[in-house]
Amino acid sequence: MDPIDIDLSAPIYPSDGTGVVPTEANERIEAASGFLPALTSALRRKLRKPGAHGDAMRAMFGSDQYKFTDQMPVGYTHVRKDPTGRRDIRIYGHPSGRYYDSAETFLPHVVAMLVLSDHCWCELCQHRSRGQ
């Protein structure tokens, strides 16, 4: 069965992205196509995970295969830090002004967007809700 394509920039998925990207000399904006496969892999790993967390993910998404395509959520930007050396990434756009440093850390925020949830369990939203 072909995977279900998900364009995170589609209007159906509400995004809280700010569009703010700090400009640092050792960073460059990258195409979404360089990050979305990693995000797809992160989702697939979560859907295969045993136990309560995996069960909760499968309850939300079923057992279908998904593939993130086209663009990042509106207001979020994939940036590569020090592109000549390590492959450090940053995802900018979170309302807190902080950034995600991997597909794994960004995925909970994406899941909240996909299921149209008012509550997000990602580390940046949890950090912000604690007032820190």
Pair of tokens at residue 53: 């967390």
pLDDT reading at 22 higher than 90: no
| 129 confidence band (pLDDT: 50, 70, 90) | low
CB 111 within 8 A of CB 68: no
Give the tens place of pLDDT for each residue, 78-104: 998 875 666 688 999 999 999 999 999
Pair of tokens at residue 106: 């960004």
pTM of the predicted model as reported, rounded to 2 decimal places? 0.89
Nearest partner of 107 among 86, 88, 87, 125, judged by Cα: 125
Q: What is the pLDDT of residue 41?
A: 94
Q: What is the pLDDT of residue 1?
A: 73
CB 30 within 8 A of CB 94: no
